């Protein structure tokens, strides 16, 4: 049975969260326009918020797996 690819929106949210949690700038967004960019930015905001609130790598990984 073939596995389906994850949607671009879900992947963008995950990658945005990882970028935000690691302290990278929002200028690193690989998407120009569209819903993928919006999703990446939403993930980035959540990641930055978790980073500012002091969540460690273990807590970030757990939250990322729950997304």
Q: Is the residue at 62 inside a domain?
A: yes
Could you tell me if residue 3 is inside a domain? Answer: no
DSSP code per residue over 15-62: HHHHHHHTT--GGG----SSHHHHHHHHHHHHHHHHHHTT--HHHHHH
Q: Which domain holds residue 55?
A: 8-24+33-66
> Tell me: the pLDDT tens digits for 9-35?
888 888 999 999 888 888 888 888 888
pLDDT tens profile 41-57: 999 999 999 888 888 77
> Residue 1 domain-assigned?
no
pTM exceeds 0.85, yes or no:
no
Predicted pLDDT of residue 61: 73
In a domain, 51, yes or no: yes
In a domain, 44, yes or no: yes
Domain count, the chain: 1
Assess if residue 58 is contained within a domain.
Answer: yes
């Amino acid at each position: 049975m073939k596995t389906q690819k994850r949607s671009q929106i879900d992947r963008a949210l995950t990658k945005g969260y990882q970028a935000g949690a690691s302290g990278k700038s929002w200028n690193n967004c690989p998407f120009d326009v569209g819903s993928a960019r919006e999703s990446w930015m939403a993930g980035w905001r959540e990641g930055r918020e978790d980073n500012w609130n002091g969540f460690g790598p273990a807590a970030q990984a757990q939250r990322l797996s729950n997304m």
